Structure 1
Amino acid sequence: MTHLIEDGWDARFVQEQVGHDYASTTAIYTCVSSDFRTRTLRRALDATMEAALRPARRA
């Protein structure tokens, strides 16, 4: 199931496919690579910084 997460499948979809009632159960069996974690964090931080530095729109 880890490969599905790393390939971009929605976590809820993966949870349903393996038959878990709770996302926390799926998380126990999911161990993404450190490279995947780094890329995901980097994308989130880049998007946050871009939004924070974007000039505010005037109404």
Structure 2
Amino acid sequence: MGFGSYDESEQDNQEYDTDFDDDDGLDTEDNTHKGDVEYEFTASNDELLDRLKDIKETETNT
């Protein structure tokens, strides 16, 4: 067989490991945040909208 070729009979003989253990994954409860997050914006709505417009114009020009 040459490089990149394969034996078609091997297509039927593939084995898949579908036995998943619960210990293999991440426990998302370990990193749960139990607090409050507050944001303070110093820019006005008009300043933020102007900035968004600039960003969109930059994206369409590139």
Q: Same fold (TM over 0.5)?
A: no
Scaled to the shorter chain, the TM-score interval is under 0.3
Q: Greater relative contact order: 1 or 2 (C-alpha under 8 angstroms, separation 6 or more)? A: 1
Structure of higher CA gyration radius: 2
With structure 1 as the length reference, what TM-score do the two structures score? 0.27
The structure richer in helix per residue is 1
The alignment's TM-score, normalised by the length of structure 2, stands at 0.26
